[in-house]
Structure 1
Amino acid sequence: MIIQLLLVPALVFAVVSSLRSRTSIRGQARRKILAVLTIVAGVLAVLFPDTLQALADWTGVTRGTDLLLYALALVIIYLVGSTSVRFREQEARLVQLARQVALADAALRHVEAVQARSQQAADQAPVAAHDRVQEAAATR
């Protein structure tokens, strides 16, 4: 059947393209084109159902609704894979951001601790100098 020759490569293409990185400009354009084509195909299927049946007959599918089901299954497989990749990429970004915040927080705490020690030493220095002066005066 023709439908089998069409569905197997389409399934492989849907899985492979959905698992690709989402950050490239080419990938973003591909997803937008696929979305537009899906919308156009849906509108045409609603406006011209006989065409869908004729396409189903040509591909060896008994009903146009079955052909539509196959197409929607491909779209859903693509969306599930694509969503999975997007969540993994967002999770990786979130981990990286959390690490940067933790490092910045640790650096800030270190700077504050150094400043506090410096201030404490500066506050104690006049008292220590005053004590040394009094000791020196007492030994004279």
Structure 2
Amino acid sequence: MIIQFLLVPAVVLAVVLSLRSRNSVRGQARRKLIAGLTVVAGVLSVLFPGVLQSLADWSGVTRGTDLLLYVLAVVIIYLVGSVSVRFREQEARMTRLARQVALGEAEARLRADVVEATVLPADLSKDSRAS
């Protein structure tokens, strides 16, 4: 069946593309293109079910709805991988930000302690002279 030769590379490609970095312009364009193509394909399959059945017959699938199910499974695999990578990248970004904030606060406390240590003895010596 032709569908097997189409679905296996499609699933592998969906996994590979979904696990790539999301920060690139190319990755953002790819996500938008896949989303747009999914919407267009869905609308066309509803408006012209005969075309979907013809594609199913050509690819060796018995029904057009089965073909639609296979295609949607590939899209879902891509989306799950894509969301997983996006969450992982956000977690890493959040960790870096938390570390920067913690280091900044520690540095500010250290400066305050140094200023306090240098200012207090001078003030105490002035107070002791006045008495």
Tell me the secondary structure at the aligned position of residue 20 of structure 2. Answer: coil
Greater shift after overlay, 76-85 or 113-122?
113-122
The one-letter code sitting in structure 1 at the alignment partner of 2:63 is R
Larger radius of gyration: 1
Where in structure 2 are the equivalents of 1:84-123 lying within 5 Å? 84-123=84-123
Cα shift readout 1:27-67 (whole Å, capped 9, x = no counterpart): 11111111111111001001001110011000000000000
Cα shift readout 1:43-94 (whole Å, capped 9, x = no counterpart): 1001001110011000000000000000010011001100100000000000
**Superposition CA RMSD, Å:** 1.2
- Work out whether 1:60 is the aligned partner of 2:47: no
Q: Distance in 2 between matches of 1:116 and 1:92?
A: 36
Q: Structure 1 residue runs of 4+, over 2 Å off? A: 127-131
TM-score by length of 1: 0.89
Give the aligned length. 131
- Work out whether 1:19 is the aligned partner of 2:22: no
Cα shift readout 1:92-115 (whole Å, capped 9, x = no counterpart): 000000000000000010111112
Q: Distance in 2 between matches of 1:76 and 1:110?
A: 51
How many angstroms does 1:21 deviate by?
A: 0.3
1:30 maps to 30
TM-score by length of 2: 0.95
How many angstroms does 1:116 deviate by?
A: 1.5
Tell me the secondary structure at the aligned position of residue 62 of structure 2. Answer: coil
1:136 maps to none
Q: Distance in 2 between matches of 1:89 and 1:101?
A: 18
Q: Distance in 1 between matches of 2:94 and 2:115?
A: 31
The one-letter code sitting in structure 1 at the alignment partner of 2:22 is R
How many angstroms does 1:119 deviate by?
A: 2.3
% identical aligned pairs: 66
